[in-house]
Amino acid sequence: MKTAVNKIYNPEIECMSREAIREMQNERLQKTIRLVYDKVEVYRKRMDEKGVKPEDIKTIDDLHLLPFTEKTDLRDYFPYGLFAADLKDIVRIQGSSGTTGKPIVSGYTENDVEAWSEMVARALYAAGGGEDDIVQVAYGYGLFTGGLGAHQGATKIGATVIPMSSGNTERQIMMMQELGATMLCCTPSYATYLGETVKEKGLQGKIKLKSGCFGAEPWTEEMRQNLENLLDIDAMNIYGLTEMGGPGIAFECLEKDGMHINEDHVIAEIIDPVTDEPLPYGEYGELVFTSITKTGMPLIRYRTHDICCLNPEPCACGRTHVRMSRITGRTDDMMVIRGVNVFPSQIESVLMRVKGVTPNYMLIVDRVNSTDTLEVQVELSEEMFTDTVSGIERIRDEIKENIKSVVGISVKVQLVPPKTIQRFEGKAKRVIDNRKLGF
């Protein structure tokens, strides 16, 4: 581990007692519900339909009385229908990268931008960052929250920011080397690509990076190991979504055992995605957020479709905010293969434990003679590519058997030459489902 110091940006808030957090949440929840009831017609109507008045919501135990908000609501009431502030008080619009369908937007008041910046500042501090750091931001800038989010957070901690945005890998590495960047912010898949390129160029000893905050897409523990080795850094997970403000909603501390959720700004719940009932701590389900400080576009019980579990146990770092596990998948990227639920992350875990393949893979789902098929395409490493046929066959069998035992389905495995699977500068696309086409 390179980043040995445990730094806490706002200890008063990040380490407050559970009781104090709850009290703060209750108070802020009441205020937010009053705000949306008064200012957002959709919420007022829905609460009226359910027979819930703002004064019925006193504590977070009353959350279940409130209606959910869905991604479709952001599309249906696009662009301003869910805003709780007058446009004159909205200082920024950001939008989702549109992984699933039409883009959506979120509006920020000055306070919202400030709160968001602090959330990212906490994440960068937790990754060992500070005013002496040079932070290279290789998330895309623009409507997507990644670039500006990381930029504002890095500015807040007084670091020197290199606003590279995503892409242009050669230049990215040249700047990283010449300017002596010490921290990197981008998607884990792009970081891996940068790492591979650094290695290929024989520049591993010349890069000064010590850590980075990587998020915006699901990744596995195995992928972290690989990335940490490639760039000789601490690779920290950071989570967020446009609807809640952007990256920084939750972030890892050096324990690397779950991401602390900024509970002074959001309330997290886990629900059963089928019955919609709240689930206890420790159980996996769909993550649902309620904003409690936003004034631009506060969302109530927003269904993220992200699957994870929550852990309220005290953390060795001293922070008291609840931790969320890695996202194991989105309910909408779950593949149902011959009746079995399969997440790309399960396959990724298996692949990353096999020697001789790279973290570059693509999953191709199809339907042949009314039967679902899953083909796993994965790149061989340079060394393995020139190995014997029997060596390559051994890898293929190993992958097939491990997927069968971990996921429970038979798949076709295709080993492809190095550098033949598409690389991504932003969020990686791992699944091609041909079943959805042409039917």
Two tokens at 429? Answer: 């696309």
- Specify the residue, 269 or 372, whose C-beta has the smaller distance to ligand ADP: 269
Give the whole-angstrom CA distance, residue 228 versus residue 226. 6
- Specify the residue, 32 or 237, whose C-beta has the smaller distance to ligand ADP: 237
Residue 317 interacting entry, from Zn ion, ligand ADP, none, C-beta within 5 to 8 Å by type = Zn ion
Number of neighbours of residue 203 by Cβ within 10 angstroms: 14
Q: Cβ 204 to ligand ADP, closest distance in Å?
A: 25
- Can you give the C-alpha Rg of the chain in angstroms? 22
Residue 100 interacting entry, from ligand ADP, Zn ion, none, C-beta within 5 to 8 Å by type = ligand ADP
Task: Give the DSSP letter of residue 297.
Answer: S
Overall size of the chain counted in residues: 439
Residue 253 interacting entry, from Zn ion, ligand ADP, none, C-beta within 5 to 8 Å by type = Zn ion
> Backbone phi, then psi, for 91, in 5-degree steps?
-105, -10
Q: Cβ 188 to ligand ADP, closest distance in Å?
A: 8
β-strand partners of 287: 270
> Backbone phi, then psi, for 203, in 5-degree steps?
-100, 10
Residue 306 interacting entry, from ligand ADP, Zn ion, none, C-beta within 5 to 8 Å by type = ligand ADP
Residue 72 interacting entry, from Zn ion, ligand ADP, none, C-beta within 5 to 8 Å by type = none
Question: Which of 315, 357, 384, 395 forms a contact with Zn ion (CB under 5 A)?
Answer: 315
β-strand partners of 130: none
Residues forming the site for ligand ADP (CB under 6 A) = 96-100, 144, 215-218, 237-242, 304, 306, 327, 330
227 CB contacts (<8 Å, ≥6 apart)? 188, 191, 192, 195, 214, 233, 235
- Specify the residue, 193 or 239, whose C-beta has the smaller distance to ligand ADP: 239
SS3 191: helix
- Specify the residue, 241 or 253, whose C-beta has the smaller distance to Zn ion: 253
- Specify the residue, 147 or 240, whose C-beta has the smaller distance to ligand ADP: 240
Stretch that binds Zn ion, among 34-42, 238-246, 249-257, 289-297 (CB under 5 A): 249-257
Asked whether position 126 contacts Zn ion by CB under 5 A, the answer is no
Residue 96 interacting entry, from ligand ADP, Zn ion, none, C-beta within 5 to 8 Å by type = ligand ADP
Q: Cβ 182 to ligand ADP, closest distance in Å?
A: 21
CB-count burial class (<10 Å; 0-12, 13-18, 19+) for 275: exposed
CB-count burial class (<10 Å; 0-12, 13-18, 19+) for 19: exposed
Return residues touching Zn ion (CB under 5 A): 253, 255, 315, 317, 319
